[in-house]
């Protein structure tokens, strides 16, 4: 039997129930509506704030919000489970309500999932990376899969030994001309990808930053971005050569599903280096 707790998202405050809050709001010396427009759009490009308000009403009206205790009373695993449920349901509801504008979808997802949308990095970073760094051929192949959440990705740059010092990143992508593929390795402990959100349990792909090596050079050709599948589509188990998991106890972002990733001779096709700005040709030249 499902218990109903009648909880509301933490940002939904009823003005009529808190006389002190209502008094303070009525005492404002500025135009509240003007400030709202400025905060959410900027004075140079105003948009109809009623669109956002409509999306908020649609999101918080769903009955799923009354089926669990407030997040403050849940364990991390319980919170993660509910976030996944809400995130998947948010996608279904956005499709059902025909919310097609990407900005509006992002608002709806965040509000519906209490700002713990499980696929936030996928929608806020990875889709844009595919749209702007992938070639036209790659976009035709991968974007529909990513937009429909068959491919769910996170951005894997930060390494255990180097943080975000990109010039010192050690992850390697070596081009093998005999198989027209890249062989990807994290050769040292310090090259372990560490901290990417949604990596621990959620995603099945990563957009991986790695040093590119080609047979015609004895030094790296620079950093490139690669689309790498790390989990099986059906079982969600790590693929051969992939070690991935949660990073466990940390001081912040407890619910961000932050993870680590190590790769051992993982092969991907040459065409999975994002190739709008650079590409390795079949004859292995950059």
pLDDT attached to residue 14 = 53
Using alpha carbons only, give the angle 99, 200, 7 rounded to the nearest 5 degrees. Answer: 50
> If you average pLDDT over residues 66-86, what whole number do you get?
85
- pLDDT per residue over 97-119, tens digit each? 999 888 888 889 988 988 789 99
CA distances from 16 to 20, 22, 24, 66, 252 (A): 10, 7, 12, 21, 34
- Burial category of 48 from C-beta neighbours within 10 Å (exposed 0-12, middle 13-18, buried 19 and up): exposed
The confidence score (pLDDT) of residue 1 equals 41
Q: What pLDDT does 185 receive?
A: 98
Please, what sign has the CA dihedral across residues 269, 243, 195, 219? negative
Q: Is the pTM of this model over 0.85?
A: no
The alpha carbon torsion through 215, 220, 225, 227 (nearest 10 deg) reads: 40
pLDDT for 71: 75
| Mean pLDDT, range 233-262, rounded to an integer | 88
Annotated domain spans of the chain? 15-118, 124-272
Domain 15-118 has CATH 1.10.540.10: yes
> According to the per-residue pLDDT averaged within each range, which of 12-16, 78-82, 84-88 is highest?
84-88
| Euclidean distance between CA atoms 184 and 208, whole angstroms | 10
**What pLDDT is recorded for position 267?**
98
Instruction: Give CA torsion, residues 99, 104, 105, 108, to 10 deg.
Output: -100
What tens digit of pLDDT does each residue of 179-194 get? Answer: 999 999 999 999 999 9
| Nearest partner of 258 among 218, 215, 213, 202, judged by Cα | 202
CA dihedral in degrees (42, 43, 46, 48; nearest 10)? 90
What is the mean predicted confidence (pLDDT) over 4-10? 47
* Helices (runs of H) and strands (runs of E) counted in the chain: 8, 9
- pLDDT value at residue 49: 76
Is pLDDT larger for residue 253 or for residue 53?
Answer: 53
Residue 203 has pLDDT above 60, yes or no: yes
pLDDT tens for each residue of 223-247: 999 999 999 999 999 999 999 999 9
- Residue 8 near residue 63 (C-beta atoms within 8 A): no
Q: Burial code of 82-96, b = ≥16 C-beta within 10 A, e = fewer? A: bbbebbeebbebbee
d(CA 39, CA 232): 42
Q: What is the pLDDT of residues 131-182, one digit of tens each?
A: 999 999 999 999 999 999 999 999 999 999 988 888 899 999 999 999 999 9
Instruction: Classify domain 124-272 at the CATH superfamily level.
Output: Butyryl-CoA Dehydrogenase, subunit A, domain 2 (2.40.110.10)
Q: How far apart are the two ends of the chain, measured CA to CA in Å? A: 61
Closest by alpha carbon to 224, among 265, 255, 270?
Answer: 270
């Amino acid at each position: 039997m499902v218990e109903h707790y009648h909880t509301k998202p933490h940002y939904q405050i009823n003005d009529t129930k808190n006389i002190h809050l209502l008094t303070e709001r009525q005492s404002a010396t500025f135009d509240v509506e003007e400030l709202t427009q400025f905060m959410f759009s900027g004075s140079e490009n105003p948009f109809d704030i009623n669109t956002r308000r409509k999306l908020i009403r649609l999101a918080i009206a769903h009955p799923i919000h009354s089926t669990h205790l407030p997040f403050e009373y849940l364990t991390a695993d319980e919170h993660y489970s509910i976030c996944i449920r809400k995130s998947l349901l948010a996608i279904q509801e956005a499709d059902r309500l025909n919310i097609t504008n990407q900005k509006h979808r992002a608002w709806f997802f965040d509000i519906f999932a209490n700002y713990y949308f499980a696929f936030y990095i996928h929608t806020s970073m990875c889709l844009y990376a595919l749209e702007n760094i992938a070639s036209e051929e790659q976009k035709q192949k991968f974007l529909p899969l990513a937009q429909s959440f068959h491919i769910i990705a996170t951005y894997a740059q930060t390494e255990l030994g180097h943080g975000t010092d990109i010039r010192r990143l050690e992850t390697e992508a070596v081009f093998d001309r005999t198989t027209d593929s890249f062989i990807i390795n994290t050769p040292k402990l310090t090259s372990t990808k560490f901290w990417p959100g949604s990596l621990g349990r959620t995603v099945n792909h990563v957009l991986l930053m790695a040093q590119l090596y080609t047979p015609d050079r004895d030094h790296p050709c620079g950093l490139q971005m690669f689309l790498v599948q790390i989990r099986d589509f059906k079982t969600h188990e790590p693929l051969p050569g992939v070690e991935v998991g949660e990073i466990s106890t940390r001081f912040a972002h407890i619910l961000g599903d932050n993870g680590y990733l190590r790769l051992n001779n993982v092969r991907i096709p040459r065409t999975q280096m994002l190739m709008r700005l650079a590409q390795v040709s079949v004859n292995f030249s950059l």
